[in-house]
Structure 1
Amino acid sequence: MKTQAAVLWDYGQDWKIEELELDDPRNDEVLVRLAASGLCHSDEHVRVGDMPFDALPVIGGHEGAGVVEKVGPLVTDVKEGDHVVLSFVPACGRCEYCAKGYQSLCDQGAGIAVGLQGDGTSRHHVGGRDARLMCMLGTFSPYTVVRESSVVTIDQDIPLDKAALVGCAVTTGWGTAINAAKVSAGETVAVMGVGGVGANAVQGAKMAGASRVVAIDPSEFNRDQARRFGATHTYASVDEAREALTDLTRGKMADAALITVGVVHGEMIGEALSLVGKLGRVALTSLGSDTEDDVKMSMFEVTAYRKTIIGTLFGNANPRSDIPKLLEFYSRGELLIDELITRTYSLDQINQGYDDMREHRNVRGMILFD
């Protein structure tokens, strides 16, 4: 079939809308008609070259939901007509890490930076060339073919445009607080960066029962939005937050700091560590350039105060159980998702959407497909 997609031809360029020729699904693959795709900062990392692929072009997008249009041979878990969320990390359920309950580390996730199907070939073709897919999904298109392990079936009464955000931002942010930092009732939590992921980290900390949720972001818009999602205090800088935490906690400092900024740099690790006290946990979700390896921190404090730095991928979630659970929270009014969507765009407005993200005009921008 022929459709359209937002394609990156070279790093540093804008997304370009191209005609996409899409093959039928093969073994263990499904064709999905997408309803919506979120505009996540991770695709911006690809665009600027922080997360390079083996080859270009790349079809962007990794946060989407839609309806299964066709299934390939050997597909057993989904059928035509099923409503699904696309999980940006596949979960096969069979590898060692899935079997141990670490689905965000599924062995099939090794293909995320390659962007091809499981057999090493492509179903997506642009300008006569095979296209790679962001996270093996390519949701910047109204149609895509993905592996069965990358879709999670959901109830059909859940709006698909809202469900799309659980494919990345909601689960990543919420899981950073709940699964990685293991926030518990009565704790004080600092959240560095309140965009799409950070707003959900705030929500996760609030749902866990944190008594104080301190949101840190240079954008006044983001700070205002943080209060909607549960922040009790907001500050423009780490220095301001550190001084306030000293007073708020009588010198104890935060129990956990969650790094959910758009682009992480080495000095931010030390800044996050300075916000937490004894036994403090720092959960690192944000991405930076794959070449940046200079981290500055007080090694003395890590040892003497038993502080911990926790790496976090997809909120350390198990998508096959956590995605339906989060959507159940949403259905009960316990989790805000509608409020995350600041502006919506058509596919050909994608570059405007990312400009709005860079200028801090959105919590989450979203592409809606007809």
Structure 2
Amino acid sequence: MSKTPQAITCKAAICWGIGKVMVEEIVVDPPKATEVRVKMLCASICHTDITSIQGFPHTNFPMALGHEGVGVIESVGDQVTNLKEGDLVIPTYLGECQECQNCVSEETNMCATYPVRWTGLLPDNTSRMSVRGETLYHVLSCATWSEYTVSDANYVLKVEPTIDHAHASFISCGFSTGFGAAWKEAKVKNGSTVAVFGLGAVGLGAVSGAKMYGATRIIGIDTNEKKREKGEAFGMTDFINPSDSDKSASELVKELTDGMGVDYSIECTGVSTLLTESLEATKVGTGKAILIGVGTEHTLPLGLFAILLGRTLKGSVFGGLKAISDLSIVVDKCHKKEFPLQELFTHEVTLADINKAFELVKQPNCVKVVINMS
């Protein structure tokens, strides 16, 4: 008979307020009936982690940081039947019940039963994590920059134990969001043209998705010249650095496409002024722009004529990927090394050096910072 799980004392990266991050000793309680407690093995930094310490998506502090990562289940609640101790899992911030109206639809990944947790709490509106007697909030539905974390079992995906841990972390959010935007949201067609604004991990995922689904011209746009080589590694055919020209990014895209613009554009930066640019870069009448970049602004400017002339703008969470059925496909492709994910791995830190990671992400040659949790 297995022993009853007890509270665990461990280390985690905690944000006490805007910009105030410290590694603290915390307490992680045992999982409740439908939950699992996970020993994190590897985590990584996504742009949303940067915005979270700036107050987006919420300002519930103290906050246990991190939402990308992979770990092994340490204990399970007594109602969990599809997972067991020792399983390697990816925490997700969106679930998939496979039964609600949205899940059975082919139109959206926004599960109504297990939605995005904007409050930073588990589905029962409580937390299993505390620091100095205070409740700890998550960024979304989990906290991966912690040696141990608790998540509802419906927000984790079991993966093959032989998968590369860093690569599994990359596809837990950033890369998969971009890949999904090309695959599930834009629905890139064979022979089409695609523009990708921003060549971080999300943008490189979008480039990879566009290539995999048959785009013949993939234009990457970034002000960082060092991203040219990374983009080409994932399938980019053309590179635009807007800082090299007095023209707008959309004008430069049109110059490469006989004045027409592209079939699809994918905005990955979260820079508000690029929303209109991403639309203007697409074809009049049929162009489709996917917005996946997240900044801290809640109201975005949009040029009237950019969308009035028949273009489509679509917002997206997690690139339109369903957290079980679609993410499992991405995991399989990752396991088969169909993506050059090693190109994303540029820096590594320990949990104790988490504040160093925030400096590393500012460096021009940085794509992903891996946090070694072991």
TM-score with structure 1 setting the length:
0.93
Give the deviation of 1:102 after TM superposition. Answer: 6.2
The aligned counterpart of 1:52 is: 58
1:5 Cα offset (Å): 0.4
Matching residue of 1:202: 207
Contact 2:95 2:115 (C-alpha < 8 Å) held by counterparts: no
Q: Does 1:254 align with 2:262?
A: yes
Amino acid at match of 2:53: R
Give 4+ residue runs of structure 1 displaced > 6 Å after superposition.
none
1:264-322 superposed Cα distances (whole Å, 9 cap, x missing partner): 31x222111111113000000011225x314131x335333x20001110000012022
Aligned residues of 1:170 and 1:200 also touching (Cα < 8 A)? yes
Paired residue for 1:35?
A: 41
1:328 counterpart = 2:332: yes
Question: What is the CA–CA distance in structure 2 between the aligned matches of 1:66 and 1:308, rounded to whole Å?
Answer: 39
Residue of structure 2 in register with 1:348 after alignment: 352
1:168 aligns with 173
In the alignment, which of 346, 367, 371 is matched to residue 367 of structure 1?
Answer: 371
Unaligned stretches of 5+ residues in structure 2 = 1-7
Unaligned regions of 5+ residues in structure 1, if any?
Answer: none
Matched residue of 2:125: which SS? coil
Paired residue secondary structure (1:358): coil
Instruction: Select the residue among 7, 10, 18 that pairs with 1:3.
Output: 10
RMSD: 1.8
Shift in Å, 1:240: 6.0
Instruction: Kindly state the Cα deviation for residue 219 of structure 1 after the two structures are TM-superposed.
Output: 0.9
In 1, are the aligned partners of 2:167 and 2:334 still within 8 Å (CA)?
A: no
Tell me the distance in 2 between the aligned counterparts of 1:301 and 1:85: 39
Give the Cα–Cα distance (whole angstroms) in 2 for the partners of residues 218 and 245 of structure 1: 14
Aligned length: 363
User: In structure 2, what is the equivalent of residue 144 of structure 1?
Assistant: 149
SS of the residue corresponding to residue 202 of structure 1 reads helix
Distance 1:83 1:125 in 2: 24
Distance of aligned partners of 1:140 and 1:301 in 2 relative to their CA distance in 1, 3 Å threshold: closer
Q: CA deviation at 1:166?
A: 1.4
Whole-angstrom distance in 2 between the partners of 1:102 and 1:186: 23
1:99-141 alpha-carbon deviations (Å, 9 max, x no partner)? 3356741235556221122222211011111100111210001
The reply on whether 1:281 has 2:288 as its aligned counterpart is: yes
Deviation at 1:11, TM superposition (A): 1.0
Verify: 1:181 aligned to 2:181, yes or no: no
Q: Which moved more, 1:101-110 or 1:78-87?
A: 101-110
- Separation (CA, whole Å) in 2 of partners of 1:201 and 1:95: 28
List aligned pairs for 1:196-235, cutoff 5 A. Answer: 196-235=201-240
Going from structure 1 to structure 2, the CA distance change for 1:185 and 1:337 (only over 3 Å counts) comes to same
TM-score computed with the length of structure 2 as normaliser: 0.92
- Is 1:293 equivalent to 2:299 in the alignment? yes
Provide the rounded CA distance (Å) in 2 between the counterparts of 1:301 and 1:16: 44
Contact 2:100/2:112 (CA < 8 Å) preserved in 1?
yes
- Counterpart residue identity of residue 134, structure 1: V
Task: Give, in whole Å, the separation in 2 of the partners of 1:240 and 1:303.
Answer: 20
The CA distance in 2 between the partners of 1:322 and 1:109, in whole Å, is: 16
Question: Could you tell me whether the CA contact under 8 Å between 1:91 and 1:106 is conserved in 2?
Answer: yes
Distance 1:284 1:250 in 2: 24
Give the Cα separation in 2 of the matches to 1:332 and 1:72: 32
CA contact (8 A) 1:258 1:285 kept: yes
Which one-letter code corresponds to 1:252 in the other structure? M
